[in-house]
Amino acid sequence: MSSVEVTHLSVKAGSTTLISDVTLDIEPGTWCTIIGPNGAGKTTLVETIAGLRPMASGSVTISGQSIADLNERERARLVSVVAQHPQVPAGMTVRDYVALGRVAFHGVLRAPSAGDERAVDDVLERLSLDRFSHRDVVTLSGGERQRMVLARALAQSTMVMVLDEPTTGLDLRHQMELLELLKKEVNECGLTVVATLHDLTLAGQFADRLVLLDDGAIVLDGPARDVIRSDELGEHYGMRLRVIDVDGSDVIVPVRQGVTPR
């Protein structure tokens, strides 16, 4: 069974079509990153997959269940979400914030169980946040805060996670640290990741599969290395791109207009 199945999905805002007839089938334990120029519909697509936007037509199923037929609590047991600009309330400890990921299991009016507490402790340890557990969330650095947001999503214990530009605002080291943590969950726990990333080099290095979206439609879908090295990539970004092999990894370099690559 596919972890995520998107069938002839279309999304509209008024009379404007944002996503047009998108079909995707994502296998368990796969990291699939949606790439494309600004305005391509990347955020709209992943938000719809997560059940945060209504569909005009088509369907989305997570682990065989139609996302449109589920209430918020049921969805939270199937798919976790890391937003591009997550709301982090002041006055809350790191542990309490991460523990919000367990609300889908024990409900708002019931205290967390011993199993819920163990799940939170485990995630805090795995992401090296246990030493920050009693700190106010507003005292964390940008990298620490993003790890905390990822920890909350992991505490939901879902097998599918949707992330919209999870490295926004992070420096290079913290970008790599966050993506390495996520890759470890994919490799060791079989997590299925559906993400968006602007950085094509990072997208190519961490994803198993890349989906190039433009004007709300899929124009290329395949193994990350094939998509990165395709001629269509530069065409849809509207510029020339050069791919350089650095220690076995593809690095994508934009070429200035009027400059001939060496």
Residue scoring higher pLDDT (42 or 87): 42
Q: Which CATH superfamily is domain 1-78+158-262 in?
A: P-loop containing nucleotide triphosphate hydrolases (3.40.50.300)
Distance, in Å, from the CA atom of 107 to the CA atom of 163, rounded to the nearest integer, reads: 24
Distance, in Å, from the CA atom of 218 to the CA atom of 40, rounded to the nearest integer, reads: 10
Task: Give the pLDDT confidence score for residue 93 in this predicted structure.
Answer: 94
Using the Cα atoms of residue 162, residue 164, residue 168 and residue 172 in order, give the sign of their dihedral: positive
Q: How confident is the model at residue 116 (pLDDT cuts 50, 70, 90)?
A: confident
Distance, in Å, from the CA atom of 29 to the CA atom of 117, rounded to the nearest integer, reads: 26
Domain ranges of the chain: 1-78+158-262, 87-157
Task: Give the pLDDT confidence score for residue 105 in this predicted structure.
Answer: 75
The answer, yes or no, to whether residue 261 has pLDDT greater than 60, is no
